[in-house]
Amino acid sequence: SGGEQSPRLFQFRKDGFLVLEQFFTAEECDSMRNQIQRIVAEMEVPPHCRTEFSTKEEEQLQAQGSSDYFLTSGDKIRFFFEKGVLDERGNFLIPKEKSVSKIGHALHAYDPVFKQITHSSKVQELGRKLGLERPVVVQSMYIFKRYGIPPALKDPRDWCLVAVTPHQDATFLHTEPLGRILGFWIALEDATRENGCLWFIPGSHTSGITRRMVRAASGTSTCVEFVGSEPAYDNSQFIPLPISKGGLILIHGEVVHKSELNSSESSRHAFTFHVMEAKDTSWSKENWLQPTPELPFPSLYT
């Protein structure tokens, strides 16, 4: 099947992305959705979400708590909430299964269902067709892409993560040299223009990156900071990539992509993971995400 793959490979190298419809079965998608329901049902609200603010000092402690929770999530399964869904005591203002925006960043390592999908023979075979010699999995995320705005949020600017601004994954996952990061984005439900499918600028993966997110010096109130500038992208250059349930989008680490607000009546669940070609590559010590003794980046090929 090497022959039929080469036009696709050419397309991927040209565009910086590749759509593979029906890569996973409906059953595989449903098994991931069902597993997430179980995980959310057992979810505990993290302590830093429960602080009642009174003093500036406590607010800083809370901010530090959020930072630590995020920065140390690389080797754990952790919950990230939409804004405005919890009161100051950490009680849910809306049903808890509607309150989570994403779950990260080690589902691929610690959850049997997501581990099986990430290391499935079709993913490994795809890695080999792409010529990956020593691919390792660096992180994974389950993204809910909610619709509708909680009552507490009148101002749409408060509504975080409904729209994902244009970005390059290598801004967050930096390697030397560049070009060693690859995203696998799996639609667990149909992704349409209405419910927030991905949009790409074809060919935008060839001019490097302009901005990096790095760990901030310890003791500062924010956990990460951006270095470099964010370019203004021309909106007319983006093309939408609607994809059916079970479809996979391969995403080059430097291709510019975004997703719009989910203006539909339905969610748009996705499971995504990032792979790095580890051969002759160094992972930046300044990345927010770092391998740990408990979880060195696992090999994609098992």
State pLDDT tens for residues 52-73.
Answer: 766 888 778 888 888 899 999 9
Neighbours of 231 (CB within 10 A): 12
Alpha-carbon distance of 204 to 138, in angstroms, equals 23
Predicted local confidence at residue 19, as pLDDT: 98
Alpha-carbon distance of 179 to 170, in angstroms, equals 8
Alpha-carbon distance of 59 to 114, in angstroms, equals 35
Q: What is the pTM of this model?
A: 0.92
Predicted local confidence at residue 63, as pLDDT: 81
What the block records as the tokens of 149 is 């705005």
Q: Which amino acid, residue 271? A: F
Predicted local confidence at residue 161, as pLDDT: 42
Predicted local confidence at residue 57, as pLDDT: 82
Residues of the chain whose pLDDT is less than 50? 1, 156-161
Q: Which option is the CATH number for 7-283: 1.10.240.10, 3.20.130.10, 2.60.120.620, 3.40.718.10?
A: 2.60.120.620
Domain edges within the chain: 7-283
